[in-house]
Amino acid sequence: MDEFEVIQRYFATGFPARDDVVLGVGDDGALTRLAPGEELVTVSDALVAGTHFPAQLAAGAIAHRALAANLSDLAAMGAGPRWFTLALALPEAKEAWLAAFAAGLRRLADRFGLALIGGDTVRGPLAVTITAMGTVAAGTALRRDGARSGDRIFVTGTPGDAGWAWQAFADGRGLSADDPLYQRFAFPDPRVAEGAALRGIATAAIDLSDGLHVDLARLLAASGVGGEADVDAVPRSAALTERAGETRATELALTGGDDYELCFTIPAEKESALAALAASWPCRLTQIGRVVAEPGLRWRRNGEYLPTPDVSFRHF
C-alpha cells in the first residue's frame, strides 16, 4: 500500500460525523464551523516509539494513548472535544497493525464524538502526532494562571501507576494485558467530563503528563504563587504500593508522569460544590495541599518540609 491507500482504507471513513465539519479528510485542508460565542481550544502531542511508549506496545494501545493525551489537554482546559488530525510515521505499512491502530483510534474517537478531519501518513520511525480541537463558551476556559493564595489543590485518580508500568517496559519486564498498571499506561482515561464540570469552579488546572510535582509547579509558577502539599495525602493505588513498596510508590506518584489525570485549584468556598460534582465521578478526588503567596512548591510530611523530588523526564 502507498500512503494514499493507507489513508483511504483506514482513516477516510468510520470516524464520527459531525454537522460542524464542512470539509474533512481528502482535501488540502479541513473546514470546520464555530457557533457564535465559542472559543477554539487547540492542543497537540507527538508520541515517539522508545520515548513515549515501547515499540512493541499493541497498535490499538498506541492509538488510544496518542488520542487520550490530547483529550487530557482538552480536559485541562475544560473544553468539549470536536475534531482531530493525525500525522502518522510508519517504518512500513502492515495491514494487521494498521487495522488494529485504526480500530483503537475509532473506539476512543467514538466515545467522545471526535471527527477525524485530516493529517498525513509518511515513512519513518514509528511516531504518532495528533492535533485535537475543542470548544468552550467564550471566557470560560480553564487556564494555568488563575490560582490564588488560599485556594485548595486537588488531584484526580492515582498518580504513579503509569510511571511504574513504563519503567517495567524499560527494564524488559513483561506485563499482561489485564494487569491494572498496564491498563493505566496503555489505556489512560482522559477526564473530559470532569474538566468540563470544573468550569466556573476551578481557578486553574493542568493535566499530569510529566509528573505531579513538575506539572503542579508549572501551574503555580504560571499563576505567580506557590504551594504547600502533603506527601502522604497524594493518593496511590493499592496495585502500585504492592508492586513498588511505599517509598518507591511515593516517588512515582510525585514524578512518574503519563498519568493524564487533572490537578487543579479551587477557592475554599467552592469545596462543597466540588464535593457534590465529584460524588458521581468514576475517579478518586483528593485534596493534597493549598496555594500560598510565596513562590515555589514545597512538600511536607508530619509538618516538616521535605527535599524537592527529583524532576521527571525531560527531552533535552
Q: What are the boundaries of each domain within the chain?
A: 3-137, 152-305
In the predicted model, what is the mean pLDDT of residues 41-57?
Answer: 93
Per residue in 188-231, pLDDT (tens digit) is 999 999 999 999 999 999 999 999 999 999 999 999 999 999 99
| pTM for this prediction | 0.94
Average pLDDT rounded to a whole number, residues 36-46: 96
Q: Which residues contact 102 (CB under 8 A, 6 or more apart)?
A: 10, 11, 14, 63
What is the CATH architecture of 152-305? Alpha-Beta Complex (3.90)
pLDDT (mean) for 100-129 = 96
Strands (E), 80-170: 80-90, 115-123, 127-137, 152-156
pLDDT category of residue 174 using cuts at 50, 70 and 90: confident
DSSP-based three-state secondary structure for 2: coil
Q: Is 106 left (phi over 0), alpha (psi -120 to 50) or beta?
A: alpha
For the chain, what is the mean pLDDT? Answer: 94
At residue 6, the pLDDT reads 87
Does residue 249 surpass a pLDDT of 60?
A: yes
Judged against a pLDDT cut of 60, whether residue 30 lies above it is answered with yes
* Structure confidence at residue 315 (pLDDT): 54
Options 1.20.1250.20, 3.40.50.720, 3.30.1330.10, 3.40.47.10; CATH for 3-137 is: 3.30.1330.10
Q: What is the pLDDT of residue 1?
A: 73
> How confident is the model over 51-64, as pLDDT tens digits?
899 988 999 999 99
